[in-house]
Structure 1
Amino acid sequence: MATPDFVLALREKIGHHPLWLSGVTAVVVRDSEVLLVRRSDTGEWTPVTGIVDPGEQPAVAAERETLEEANIVAVAEAISWVQVTEPIRYANGDESQYIDLVFRCRYVSGDPYPADGENTDAAWFPLDALPTMTANMEERIRSALEFTGATRFER
């Protein structure tokens, strides 16, 4: 996955030590379909995810990541879930943990394809025929689809 320049600069100072980051998950919905990407690092299908750049509004980050990763223009409409992910150790030894803001996003335009090299595929999936995903990714999608106007907060 492409690492933002600000993270690379921090890594020069802290090495592989744990780094706390802000992340977004964009659950893009079009009628009865959801946009998924196949990650190039793990091969897993997920909604679009990404890191919020310093000073960037999280909703803008969700929309930007969707365009960059899948060539889809989408509008972030609501935060359905705020969670802290489990710590992650990457293949290069870097450790991170994220506060993840799950956005329900409305499709505007575009045809999905893996636009930036972070993914090997991007496609629409019917809600009743999703590929196998981790339980947490399934929950991110569910939280966006079942959003009723009240954001879910983990306790």
Structure 2
Amino acid sequence: MSDYVASIRSRIGTDLLLLPGVTAVIRDGDRFLLARHRHSGLWSLIGGGVEPGEEPAEALLREVLEETGAHIRIRGIVGVYGGEPMMMTYPNGDNVGYITTAYDCELLSEAIPDMEELLELGWFHRDAIPTLPRRDWIDRVIADAPPPADRQPAAGR
């Protein structure tokens, strides 16, 4: 939990908090890199929160580096997601609703789970993802991810 969120939590307790987030759709051809998260044991895409004053793309680069030690290249935006599928209650009772911007990314270096937030990483073909114990919202993001041939480089990258 960031200092910013902790300061809000000290005032509102476990009440619902809407937070901006970023999500990395890291692909290698037809395979997607997913992470199994420590707090839930579920598979999901890699990402996290945007800090005050931080550009979302910079937050994504930071989150991927912190959680995997890897560097990525952002190629474009897949979409923006929110609503009921993005709401959750953490084990400590904190209620959160995320609104996340998902970015199409390329992995530039080796990724290793940090073992604090992530327990393991794996490459999965699109059709194998629905068989995993996962966060259901990633299905929408994966479905929206463009086929590899349709990707365009992100402006300025």
Q: Same fold (TM over 0.5)?
A: yes
Please state if 1:138 is matched with 2:136: no
SS for the counterpart of 1:56 is: coil
Partner of 1:51: 49
Partner of 2:30: 32
Please state if 1:105 is matched with 2:89: no
SS for the counterpart of 2:63 is: helix
CA distance in 2, matches of 1:140, 1:69: 20
Query: How big is the alpha-carbon RMSD for the aligned residues of Structure 1 and Structure 2?
Result: 2.0
User: Which structure 2 residues correspond to residues 1-155 of structure 1 after superposition, within 5 A?
Assistant: 3-86=1-84, 87-110=87-110, 112-115=111-114, 117-130=116-129, 131-132=131-132, 133-146=134-147
Supply the AA of the counterpart residue of 1:118.
Answer: E
CA contact (8 A) 1:37 1:70 kept: no
**Identical residues among aligned pairs (%):** 34
Unaligned stretches of 5+ residues in structure 1: 150-155
CA distance in 2, matches of 1:126, 1:52: 28
TM-score by length of 1: 0.83
CA offset at residue 128 of structure 1?
A: 4.4
TM-score by length of 2: 0.82
CA contact (8 A) 1:25 1:48 kept: yes
CA distance in 1, matches of 2:121, 2:83: 23
After TM superposition, the runs of 4+ consecutive aligned structure 1 residues lying more than 6 A away are none
Q: Paired residues, what number? A: 146
CA distance in 2, matches of 1:51, 1:43: 19
